[in-house]
Amino acid sequence: MRSFRIKRVAVLPVLALMSLALVLPLASWAASSKPVTAGAPIVITGGIHVTATSVVLEGSVNPRTLATSYYFKYGPTTAYGKDTSSGSLPAGGTTAVKVKETAPGFLSGYHYSLVASNAGGTNGSTTTTEGKDHSRTFTLKTVKKKKDAFVLPKLFEPTPVGGTFTLSGTLTGTGNANRAIVLQASPYPYRTAFANVGAPILTSASGAFSFTVRKLSASTKFRISTVGGVPVYSLIVPAQAQVRVVLKVRASSHKGLVRLYGTVTPAEVGAHVLFQLERPPKAEKIETSEKPGKLEKPGKGSSERSEEKPPTFATKFKTVVKAATRAISRFSMVVSITQAGHYRAFVEIPPGPLVSGHSQSITLSAPTAKKKAKKKKG
C-alpha cells in the first residue's frame, strides 16, 4: 500500500495576520470615539471677502469644548498694528467653526492672522493660538452709481382755466430720498426763463413727490429741478389751460325742438361752438395669452379678448358765441334731436394762452316712433 505524508503548513503567521486585521478596525474606532479633551483652540487663517465698501477676513476656530474669543490682526507688515472687533464661541464646541470679521481700512497687500484664546492652559490659565500669516492683493469692487432722473407721466389732460394742475412723479437714483426739489415755470408764450414756483419740497423715502398749482390762468411749461450742487432737471411738461365750457338744455317753445345753450369762460366772442354726439367705438378683438386668474407664458393658452378705443365725436350742429360780458360769453341754439345719445359742446379758439375746450356730456332723447306718427297725421 502507498503511504501519504502530510506537509506541515505555517499556520501561526496566518493567524497573526487575521488577528491584526481584526485589531486595526477596533483600534481606529476607539480612536474616533475618543472624547475631545479641553485645550488651546485650534486656529486656521482663511481668505478674504471683498465688497464695494469693506473687506471681511475669514477663518475657522475649534474651541475644544471651552468658551473661546477670537479676532484678526492686520496691517502692512507682519507687525500688523490693527485689530478687528472680537467675536466669541460658546463652550461645548468640538469641531471647527467658520468665523469672520470686518477689517476697516484693510488695503491690498496687507498681512493678517486669526488669533483665538480660551482657558485651555495649565490649571485653567488663558492660552492663545495664532494662525498662519496670510497676505492678499485685490481690487475693490466698484458699484455703478445710478444716475438721478425724474420719472413723470407721459400724458396730461388739459386743465380748465382757473382749475388746479397737479404734477406728481418720482426721483430715481442713489440719492433720491429726502432730496430737495423745486418746481419751475415758464408761462405762455414761453419766452421767459424758467423761474421757481413756491418753496422747495423734499422727496419721500422712495423719491416720490407731488406739486400742486392752483388757479392755472394760462398754458404754462413746467419742469422740476434738484436744489443744491449740480442741478438735475426733469423733462418739460406742457400744462394746457383750456376754456371752461358749460352746456345746458331746455324745452323750446316749438314742439319737437330743444334749446342748447351755455357759457364760455373767459369771454370768447366769435368762437365756433360745435354740438357733438358721442359715438362709442366698436370693441376690437385681439389675440392674448391671458386667462382670468392665471398667468401663462406667451404662446400658451391663447384666447381672444376685447379692447376698447376712446370714443369719437360727430358734429351735429354748429353756432358761434354771440353775446359776452367781461367775464363770460354765451351761446344758444334751437335744434331738433333726431338721434338720442350723449352730447357735448366743443368750443374752438385760435392758438394762444388758452386752448380749445369742451363741456361735460349731457343725455338727449329723440322723439319716439309713436310721436312721429301722430305728428304726420296732424
d(CA 252, CA 375): 17
Main-chain dihedrals φ then ψ at residue 168, nearest 5 degrees: -120, 155
Write the DSSP assignment of 197-257 as a string of letters: EEEEEE--TTSEEEEEE-S--S-EEEEEEE-SSS--BPPPEEE-EE-EEEEEEEE-SSTT-
At 274, list the grid cell: 360745435
Main-chain dihedrals φ then ψ at residue 22, nearest 5 degrees: -80, -35
Residues in the chain: 378
Q: Does domain 149-242 sit in CATH 2.60.40.10?
A: yes
Report whether 268 contacts 321 (CB < 8 A): yes
pLDDT at residue 366, rounded to an integer: 85
Q: Does domain 244-282+310-368 sit in CATH 2.60.40.10?
A: yes
pLDDT at residue 35, rounded to an integer: 64
Q: Enumerate residues 6+ apart whose C-beta is below 8 A from 190.
A: 221
d(CA 226, CA 148): 10
Domain with CATH 2.60.40.10 in the chain: 149-242, 244-282+310-368
In what helix (H) or strand (E) does residue 261 lie, and over which residues does it extend? strand 258-265
> pTM value?
0.54
At 158, list the grid cell: 388739459
Residue position matching grid coordinates 416720490: 208
Report whether 272 contacts 347 (CB < 8 A): yes
Angle (nearest 5°) at CA 96 between 134 and 41 = 75
- pLDDT tens for the chain, 378 residues long, are 444 454 444 444 444 445 544 444 444 444 445 566 888 999 999 999 988 778 999 999 999 999 999 999 999 999 999 999 999 999 998 999 999 999 999 999 999 999 999 998 888 889 999 999 999 888 766 556 678 899 999 888 999 999 999 999 999 998 899 999 999 999 999 999 999 999 999 999 999 999 999 999 999 999 999 999 899 999 999 999 999 999 999 988 777 799 999 999 999 999 999 999 999 876 665 554 444 444 444 444 444 555 567 789 999 999 999 888 888 999 999 999 999 999 999 999 999 999 999 999 999 998 765 554 555 554
Report whether 80 contacts 113 (CB < 8 A): yes
Among residues 280, 291, 157, which one has the least CA distance to residue 216? 157
Q: What share of the chain is helix, strand, coil (3-state, %, to 5)?
A: 10, 45, 45
Domain with CATH 2.60.40.2150 in the chain: 42-135
Supply the CATH classification number for the domain 42-135.
2.60.40.2150
Find residue 62's DSSP bridge partners: 42
The C-alpha R_g of the chain, in whole angstroms, comes to 44
| DSSP H helices in 73-159 | none
